[in-house]
Amino acid sequence: MKRYYIAEIEFPYANDAGEEVIYTVAVSHYYKQDPDPRADSDVDFYGYEESEWDLMEDGKVIPTPDELVEPIEELIREYFEEQKHDY
């Protein structure tokens, strides 16, 4: 079954040999709950983000090394924040 992606973002990364590899971060879900001081839930009070994505190389999904998770999630956050302001 083909997975539907709402965004495909280039992610350049230098591998262990120092060569730049261009991965694709294929995002299938992104949601940001802004903080809401009147919320009943502490999660909604402080706000949160959630995303689901695949790391791809040459069009194929590959396992994501642990050290790339945080930079990829930051890339996704920046991408969608930019999209929000792009009218």
85 falls in which pLDDT band (50, 70, 90)?
low
The H or E element containing residue 67 is helix 66-84
> What phi-psi label fits residue 74: left (phi over 0), alpha (psi between -120 and 50 degrees) or beta?
alpha
Q: What is the pLDDT of residue 53?
A: 97
Closest CA to 80 of 45, 50, 44: 50
pLDDT tens digits, 39-58? 888 888 998 999 999 999 99
> Which has more confidence, 40 or 30?
30
Give the residue carrying structure tokens 């995002």: 27
Single pTM value for the model:
0.82
